[in-house]
């Protein structure tokens, strides 16, 4: 029995060693990890809402979080914004006084909607009012009151998280997966599941490697600052999300939990808010950046994921009242003209609240930035994976606020890890999520930790923090500025900069180099030349000296004569007031006439001096000043021939916001808004890149047609135009085409019956939405081209076909209703989509005219090409591109070369005369005039406004410098008076996560035991314990395996009984006699 017991022990020891090894390697569940499926939902949850699933279960990789989002206007409810903060009694008196006159004209029922939340006891700058029979006159009467600033409808917001199985990763070398955006109407949480790992595709020929992640705070070296005693202490950070459980074991310093919803709970029923809070401030397991920070939890979404604009406004006011330092907002939406929301964000940052917000999950499409992350005063965060690839889901720039006349700003500001990041589970344990709403709290946590390291907290403000982050960011190679902003978050360098910071102004980007590729895309993709449209670079001025500031005198243009700086002209426009903390500096660059035939590089710089009121009036002059330099470097080429120059009409493209302009493809019900700007550098980026590769020079017209010299261009390209046309534009275009300019038009659907029938039904809110126009404004286009006997119809068609040996797809396009008899017309058999929408019937229409080519009869006249669908050149929902067709049309318009594949096509038909059916008419009662640059309201139908004057730039007077320009404009970006060597750090070991191939179907998340608490504990010991434990376990395991092998190989033999020595027996007898006790064995 003794021998059997010893052998049993030897057999069990390796088993226990294996168990220990499994625990160390994370193969087995650890105490504190959540069970599969997460914790049970609370009793007050809606039956159709689930919490976020835990990543500790075996099926983690099979779960994808799909976000759907929508909004609707709440009937009869209006947000009344005031010019200041007033008591509830004063607000009621002002509204009563304003509505008294309106009530005299008829019955007007109204009441103030009570708001029961923590902010109701304090003065407010808005009121929620229910007006039963609100008329435009009564709303105008409200706005006429001197203390009422704005009246806007109350909005109800829906956010849905749905859990669906994730597709298995494709095998290496397979084609990349398509990414379909579920575009929200308004603001939504920006999180995805752990299954969404995407790279940019730049290394698609290699097998994807993924990091085996430690906690994201340690990867970004937060432990270096923890060792120095910085753990976020004294910094108030607010999380606007779904709440947090009261006794969650990960958090030790939750100062306040507030509920702004209509549910009577403070707990998180979904897990998203808990995850975000954990990334910022978790104290154990999946450690956050700032565990000692003061957490303020704002529950602004219900368990049904419903929120209202008024809830956010009240919560924002309360955050200002509580003097919050950092605010994380992992929500976003396309509406940068939601005035109450945007104004309140400005007010927050003006009160020194550093707002960090997710940039959006609508990548890889360009022009998909979300608000408020696209605002100058907000830190907009994009996502990368652990291999430093831009996450596929991360939204891309540019901003579209400035279109059509200007150009967008650089966003995101910074990128950081947003794929497979670990954070706190809803009740306990950890889980992994992906999305820019994950990257946002990573930066918010880093900002909280950085703020706690600064002794003089007065130096920390939204501008100075953003300056430190972007100046210290590590640029990612091979990625442009509209994808990565200023680069990857570098916590340690940001700490060094912030702790040697002096209040100053800075620029974003800090230089303009039109020769640097690919970072400066799209500027680097096309050189400039004499006679071209000015190149506009929109630079953001960050003012760390104060919330308000101004530019002293005017910016100064100083060209470098040895570097041919006098070959370019520069004009500068700028914000009259820098508030809050920021402003714009729009730099327009053009080539001087003397360089019309010259090729080379020209350099110079713009000097800007910013002044801000000094907080201490004892300062000299009562102002702080800072002078910054903006280097400029451009590549100039001789003016290309007219045939190679294409002009893109941006002026007549409209988008959401402010109006409701529908998508061009009616099949895309989950993405109904046309909100990407319709610009060659946003959703027409691929088309632009193709034209550049074919040798064409593409310029943008951001003004009426009357404002360009048509003799300089071969083709005017109009795509998806929604705007009306001035009568003067129609007259000038006819004259220009008679003189040799050519025109290409890509139209889209327009059918008033379909618009009335469909009204863009939103399946989430069960609401009908009336668009202000169709995919394109066909009646306006027909007015433009009617002089040549051309017109589009209101037919609505779709279908696949082959043209010139190319597979094509017609997506919700219109047909050509009228065309000159000597023109070339191509027709195809297509499905009548309009009939399907109106009567749910399917029919194929034979011989639908879709393409027309026409040579105008005047001597030296231009050519016109019409095509009824733009989806084949639009990146938004393109299924099959038709860039070859665009090439063929440009060959025709620019060189008068008719493609034989079209002129001799079997699909060529006689041009339609348009006598069989009436041409489409404008929708009666439409509100296009509200958003149009051409129309204005009138007693009858809207009428054209007076033609605006063409923009004229005021070129800066040069102050030449006879000195050599710097050869490399991009260095490690440093702020003025910042010396990183003066900031001491402990020994820093660069961390590079280990990588290994991830097999198909394997989860992107690993269960890693919790580390040692940062701050008061030795972090280095916590990091080395698992290593030594692993090595010890391996030694013990090896020893017992060897012993077991030896035991099995030796023959069994009986051991002889050992006789005890005589003197020991005598000693034992003596002891027994003396004590009367037996010895312990």
**Active-site residue list:** 241, 272, 437
Residues 6 or more apart from 287 whose CB is under 8 A from it?
215, 217, 218, 1010, 1011, 1013, 1014
Rounded Cα distance between 677 and 857, Å, is 36
Residues 6 or more apart from 282 whose CB is under 8 A from it?
250, 251, 288, 291, 423, 424
User: CA separation (Å) from 60 to 38, 329, 1001?
Assistant: 11, 26, 10
Secondary structure (DSSP) of 32-73: TPPPTT-SPPPTTS-TT--PPPPSSSTTGGGEEEEEEEEEEE
Tokens representing 480 are 């442009």
Rounded Cα distance between 435 and 279, Å, is 13
Rounded Cα distance between 683 and 362, Å, is 12
For the chain, what's the residue count?
1081
User: CA separation (Å) from 826 to 293, 749, 910, 923?
Assistant: 68, 18, 9, 29
Please confirm whether the linkage preceding 404 is cis (ω < 30° from 0): yes
Contact (Cβ atoms closer than 8 angstroms) between residue 540 and residue 410: yes
Secondary structure (DSSP) of 764-807: TTTB----SS-SS-HHHHHHHHGGGT-EE-S--EEEEEEETTEE
Contact (Cβ atoms closer than 8 angstroms) between residue 956 and residue 572: yes
Strand partners, 379: 356
Q: 1066-1080: string of b/e by CB count within 10 Å (b at 16+)?
A: eeeeeeeeeeeeeee
Cα 480-485-488 angle, rounded to 5 deg: 100
Nearest Cα to Cα of residue 737 among 718, 713, 720: 713
Cα 549-550-555 angle, rounded to 5 deg: 140
- Residue 1031's Cβ-count burial label (10 Å; 0-12, 13-18, 19+) is exposed
Rounded Cα distance between 285 and 199, Å, is 28
φ/ψ (deg, to 5) at 692: -65, -40
Residues 6 or more apart from 418 whose CB is under 8 A from it?
381, 382, 383, 384, 385, 391, 394, 434, 435, 436, 438, 439, 442
Helix 88-104 with 136-143: angle, nearest 10 deg = 140
- Going by the DSSP 8-state scheme, the letter that residue 416 receives in this structure is E
Contact (Cβ atoms closer than 8 angstroms) between residue 603 and residue 563: yes
Secondary structure (DSSP) of 718-762: EES--S---HHHHHHHHHHHHTT-EEEEE-----HHHHHHHS--B
Secondary structure (DSSP) of 857-919: SSTT--EEEEES--GGG-TTT-SS--HHHHHHHHHHHHH----HHHHT-TTEEPPP-S-SSPP
Strand partners, 236: 294
| Sign of the dihedral defined by the CA atoms of residues 36, 42, 46, 51, in that order | negative
């Amino acid at each position: 029995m003794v021998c059997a017991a010893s052998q049993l022990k030897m057999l069990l020891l390796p088993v226990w060693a294996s168990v220990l090894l499994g625990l160390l390697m994370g193969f087995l569940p650890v105490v504190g990890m959540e069970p599969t499926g997460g914790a049970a939902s609370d009793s007050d949850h809606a039956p159709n809402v689930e919490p976020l699933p835990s990543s500790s279960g075996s099926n983690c990789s099979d779960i994808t979080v799909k976000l759907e989002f929508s909004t609707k206007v709440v009937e009869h409810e209006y947000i009344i914004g005031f010019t200041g903060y007033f008591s509830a009694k004063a607000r009621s008196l002002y509204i009563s006084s304003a509505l008294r006159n309106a009530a005299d004209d008829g019955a007007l029922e109204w009441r103030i909607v009570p708001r029961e939340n923590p902010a109701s006891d304090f003065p407010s700058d808005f009121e929620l009012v229910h007006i039963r029979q609100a008329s435009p006159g009564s709303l105008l009467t409200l706005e006429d009151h001197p203390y009422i600033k704005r009246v806007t409808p109350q909005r109800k917001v829906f956010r849905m998280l749905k859990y669906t199985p994730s597709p298995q990763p494709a095998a290496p070398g397979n084609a990349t997966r398509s990414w379909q955006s579920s575009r929200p109407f308004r603001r939504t949480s920006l999180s995805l599941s752990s299954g969404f790992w995407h790279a940019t595709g730049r290394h698609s020929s290699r097998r994807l490697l993924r990091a085996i992640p430690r906690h994201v705070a340690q990867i970004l070296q937060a432990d270096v600052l923890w060792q120095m005693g910085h753990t976020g202490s004294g910094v108030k950070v607010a999380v606007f999300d779904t709440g947090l459980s009261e006794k969650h074991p990960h958090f030790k310093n939750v100062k306040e939990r507030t509920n702004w919803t209509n549910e009577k709970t403070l707990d998180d029923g979904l897990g998203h808010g808990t995850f975000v809070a954990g990334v910022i401030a978790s104290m154990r397991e999946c450690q956050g950046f700032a565990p000692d920070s003061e957490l303020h939890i704002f529950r602004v979404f219900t368990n049904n994921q419903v929120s209202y604009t008024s809830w956010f406004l009240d919560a924002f006011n309360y955050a200002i009242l509580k003097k919050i330092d950092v605010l994380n907002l992992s929500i976003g939406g396309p509406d940068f003209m939601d005035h109450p929301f945007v104004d309140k964000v400005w007010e927050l940052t003006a009160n020194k609240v550093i707002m960090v917000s997710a940039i959006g999950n609508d990548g890889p499409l360009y022009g998909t930035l979300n608000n408020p992350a696209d605002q100058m005063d907000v830190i907009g965060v994009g996502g990368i994976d652990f291999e430093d690839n831009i996450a596929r889901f991360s939204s891309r720039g540019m901003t579209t606020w400035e279109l059509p006349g200007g150009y967008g700003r650089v966003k995101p500001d910074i990128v950081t890890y947003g794929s497979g990041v670990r954070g706190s589970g809803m009740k306990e344990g950890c889980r992994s999520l992906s999305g820019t709403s994950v990257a946002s709290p990573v930066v918010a946590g880093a900002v909280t930790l950085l703020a706690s390291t600064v002794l003089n907290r007065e130096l920390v403000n939204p501008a100075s923090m953003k300056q430190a982050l972007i100046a210290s960011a590590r640029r990612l190679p091979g990625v442009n500025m509209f994808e990565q902003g200023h680069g990857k978050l570098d916590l340690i360098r940001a700490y060094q900069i912030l702790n040697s910071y002096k209040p100053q102004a800075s620029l974003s980007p800090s230089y303009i180099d039109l020769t640097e590729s690919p970072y400066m895309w799209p500027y680097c993709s096309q050189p400039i030349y004499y006679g071209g449209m000015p190149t506009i670079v929109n630079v953001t001025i960050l003012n760390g000296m104060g919330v308000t500031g101004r530019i002293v005198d005017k910016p100064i243009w100083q060209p470098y004569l040895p570097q041919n700086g006098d070959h370019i002209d520069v004009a500068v426009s700028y914000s009259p007031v820098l508030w809050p903390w920021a402003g714009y500096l729009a730099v327009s660059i053009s080539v001087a006439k003397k360089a019309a035939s010259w090729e080379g590089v020209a350099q110079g710089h713009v000097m800007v001096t910013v002044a801000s009121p000094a907080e201490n009036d004892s300062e000299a002059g009562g102002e702080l000043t800072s002078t910054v330099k903006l280097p400029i470097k451009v590549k100039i080429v001789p003016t290309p021939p007219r045939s190679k120059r294409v002009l893109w009409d941006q002026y007549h493209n409209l988008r959401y916001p402010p109006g409701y302009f529908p998508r061009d493809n009616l099949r895309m019900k989950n993405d109904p808004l046309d909100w990407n700007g319709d610009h060659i550098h946003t959703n027409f980026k691929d088309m632009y890149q193709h034209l550049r590769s074919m040798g064409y020079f593409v310029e943008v017209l951001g003004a009426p047609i009357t404002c360009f010299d048509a003799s300089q261009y071969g083709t005017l390209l109009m795509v998806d135009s929604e705007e009306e046309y001035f009568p003067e534009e129609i007259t000038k275009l006819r004259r220009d085409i008679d003189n040799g300019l050519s025109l290409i038009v890509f139209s889209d659907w327009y059918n008033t019956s379909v618009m009335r029938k469909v009204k863009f039904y939103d399946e989430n809110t069960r609401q009908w939405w009336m668009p202000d126009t169709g995919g394109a404004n066909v009646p306006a286009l027909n007015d433009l081209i009617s002089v040549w006997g051309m017109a589009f119809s209101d037919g609505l068609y779709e279908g696949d076909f082959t043209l010139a040996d190319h597979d094509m797809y017609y997506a919700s396009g219109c047909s050509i209703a009228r065309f000159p008899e000597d023109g070339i017309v191509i027709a195809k058999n297509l499905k009548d989509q309009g009939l399907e929408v109106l009567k749910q019937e399917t029919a194929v229409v034979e011989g639908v005219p879709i393409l027309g080519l026409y040579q105008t009869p005047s001597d030296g006249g231009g050519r016109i090409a019409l095509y009824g669908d733009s989806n084949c050149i639009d990146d938004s929902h393109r299924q099959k591109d038709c860039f070859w067709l665009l090439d063929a049309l440009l060959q025709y318009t620019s060189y008068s070369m008719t493609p034989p594949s079209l002129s001799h096509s079997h699909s060529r038909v006689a041009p339609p005369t348009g006598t069989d059916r009436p041409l489409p008419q404008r929708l009666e009662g439409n509100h296009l005039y509200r958003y149009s640059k051409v129309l204005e309201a009138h007693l009858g139908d809207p009428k054209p406004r007076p033609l605006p004057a063409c923009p004229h730039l005021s070129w800066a007077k040069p102050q030449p410098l006879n000195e050599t320009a710097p050869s490399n404009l991009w260095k490690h970006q440093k702020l003025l008076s910042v010396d990183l060597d003066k900031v001491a750090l402990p020994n820093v070991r660069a961390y590079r996560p280990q990588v290994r191939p991830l097999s198909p179907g394997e989860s992107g998340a690993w269960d890693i035991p919790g580390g040692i608490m940062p701050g008061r504990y030795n972090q280095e010991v916590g990091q080395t314990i698992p290593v030594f434990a692993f090595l010890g376990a391996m030694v013990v395991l090896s020893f017992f395996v060897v012993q077991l092998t030896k035991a099995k190989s030796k023959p069994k033999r009986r051991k002889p009984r050992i006789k005890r020595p005589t003197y020991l027996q005598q000693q034992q007898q003596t002891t027994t006699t003396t004590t009367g006790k037996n010895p312990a064995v």
